[in-house]
Structure formats: structure tokens, C-alpha cells
Structure 1
Amino acid sequence: MRWTALYARSRHLTVALAAVLLCAAVLPLLLGDSWSTVFATVTLGAAVAVAGVGLSGQDLDLDRTASFRWPPRRLTHLLVIGVVAGGVMLAAQGLADLPIDSSWILRDVAGLLGLTGLAATLFGGQFGWTLPMGWAMTAALVPKAVGQAYDVVAWPMATADSAQAWWVAGLLFVAGTAAYTMAGAHR
């Protein structure tokens, strides 16, 4: 179990957990009646993004010399981020009676998690926050007047029953988790 404690320390998991709780639980409760899909998208993006910063350690060369296989641990780390962010958001929905569908939360967590994995693989773990936070903020600003493309470009803001949004989130999830699991964070 010693490697687990070292892994948690090197990835700043306690700070990430506190930040996820702050983003996904406290913000919805503070916003109360002004809670909307826009705030939910940005909040969920922030919750996934802050935990994504820990997807790499301080010394990637040291990580690569470990005597165990990294892919299962990378996949587990990424999935735990999604479970915690989504679970906390679902719990906040129940506590404050907020009008966000649980399938919407599941879809957005999956897509944002994939973006986090892609960002860590392409830019490094310290920049794992860039793609999920950037796409969440962009989606909040895209006008609905763009028609059919809205569900593709602004998939985090689309309704829970949008097939296009589910496809985009699913593709991002598969691509991001596969890239991060196999390659790890960029140097």
C-alpha cells in the first residue's frame, strides 16, 4: 500500500479532492435559485479540470522507471476523477433539488474526462485542465441559433436526449481515456 500513498502525494490528490468538492458541491448550493445549465456546465468542467492537474507527477522519468505497469493505474486515476466529480454533482443535485438530469451529468462527465485525458497526453498533466475548462466555457457562450451544429459544438450544454451530444461526448471519452491510459502525460 506504500505506493498508493506515494502516488496520492505526488499527484496532489487531497488538494484535488478538496477542489472537486468545492466546485461540484459548494457552487450549486451557493447559487441556489439562479442555478442553470450554464452554471452546471462550467461547474462540472471546473470539477473535472482541477483534478486533471494531477495526471502527472513531478518527475516523469522517475514514473517511467517504476517496476509495475502504468496503464491500469492511469485508467483508474482518470475514472476516479469522473466518478468523484459526477458523484458529488449528483449528490449536490439531491441536496439542493437542482433541475439537472442525471443522464446529462453522466454524459458531460464522460466527455470532459476524455478532454482531460487528451489535454494531459498532448500538453502535460499540469495542463490537464485546459481542454475541459476551455470547452465548457466555450459551450456556455455558443448561441443556440447555430442550429444542428449546436449539439456538436456545445455538447455540454445540449439537452440530455441529444444523440449528437452523446456521440461527441462518447468519442471524446474513448479517445481521451485511451490516449492517456496508453501514453500517459506529455513530458
Structure 2
Amino acid sequence: MRWTALYVRSRHLAVALVAVLLCAAVLPPLLGDSWSNFFATISLGAAVAVAGVGLSGQDLDLDRTASFRWPPRRLVHLLLIGAVAGGVMLAAQGFVEHPMESGWILRNAAGLLGLTGLAATLFGGQFGWTLPLVWAMTAVFVPRTAGQAHDIVAWPMAAADSTAAWWTAGLLFAAGTAAYTVAGARR
């Protein structure tokens, strides 16, 4: 059990949990009547992004010399980020005027989680926040156009029943989860 305590401390999971709670649980009730798709996208993106910072330890060489296999631990860590961020956001919907659909939250948490895994793999764990936050921030400013182009580019803002948005988020989730689980964070 000692490795778990060391892992939690080296990844700053306590700070990440507090940040996720602030982004996904405190912000929605504070916004009250202003709560919308816009703020929900930013809140969920921020919640996943702040937790993604801990996807690598301070010393990658030390991590790589461990006597146990990292891929299962990486997968669990990444999936826990999505589960906590999505679960907290779902719970917060009871306190807002216009709640988001649970399918919308599930799709966006999965897609943003995949982007977090991709960012950690491509840029390093300390930059795991970059892709999910940048994509969420960009998606809110993409103008609505006819057809599926908007639902692919701005999938976090798309309706919960958009097939194109589900496919985009699913592909990002699969690619990011697989990349981070197999390769880990970049040096």
C-alpha cells in the first residue's frame, strides 16, 4: 500500500481533486441562471485539465525503473480523472437552473479525457492540461454552421444526441487513452 501513498503524493492528486471540485461542483451553482452550454463546456474542460497535470511524476527515469507494470496504473489514473470530473459535474447539475443532459456530460468527459492523455503523451504530464482546455475554449467560439462540420470541430458544444460529436469524442478518447496507457508521459 505504500506505493499508492507515494503515487498520490508525487502526482499531487489531493490538489487536483480540490481543483476538480472547484471547477465542476462549485462553479455551476455560483453561476445560477447564467449556467449554459458555454459555461458547462468551460467548467468540464477545466476540471479535466487541472487533474491532467499529475499524469507524470517529477522524475520519469525513476518512474521507469519501478518493478511493476505502469500501463494498468496509467489507465486507472486516466479513467479516474474522467470519472471524478464527470461524476462531480453530474452531481452539480441538481443545483443549476438549466442542467446539462447526462449523455452530454459523459461524451464531453470522455473526449476531454482523451485529449488529456494525448497532451501528456505528446508534451509531457505537466502539459496534460493544454489540449482539453484549448479545445474546450476554442469550441465555444466556433460559429454554428449547418451540417456536421460544427459537430466535429466543436463537439463539446454540440447537442447530446449528435452522432458526429459522439464519434469525434469517442475517437479522441480511444486514441488518447491508448497512447497514454502504452507510452506514458513524454520526458
CA distance in 1, matches of 2:66, 2:141: 44
* Match in the other structure for 2:109: 109
Where in structure 2 are the equivalents of 1:12-161 lying within 5 Å? 12-145=12-145, 147-161=147-161
The residue type paired with residue 48 of structure 2 is V
Q: What secondary structure, in the 3-state scheme, does the structure 1 residue paired with 2:156 have?
A: coil
* Deviation of the 1:97 alpha carbon: 4.8
* Match in the other structure for 2:6: 6
Structure 1 residue runs of 5 or longer lacking an equivalent are none
* Deviation of the 1:99 alpha carbon: 2.2
Percent identity, please.
81
Greater shift in the superposed pair: 86-95 or 118-127: 86-95
CA distance in 1, matches of 2:99, 2:54: 31
TM-score by length of 2: 0.98
RMSD of the alignment, in Å?
0.8
* Match in the other structure for 2:171: 171
Contact preservation (8 Å) 2:32, 2:97: no
Q: What secondary structure, in the 3-state scheme, does the structure 2 residue paired with 1:86 have?
A: helix
* Deviation of the 1:146 alpha carbon: 5.7
CA distance in 1, matches of 2:66, 2:98: 45
Matched positions, count: 187
TM-score by length of 1: 0.98
CA distance in 2, matches of 1:175, 1:138: 20
Deviations 1:83-120 (A, max 9, x none): 00000000000233542000000000000000000000
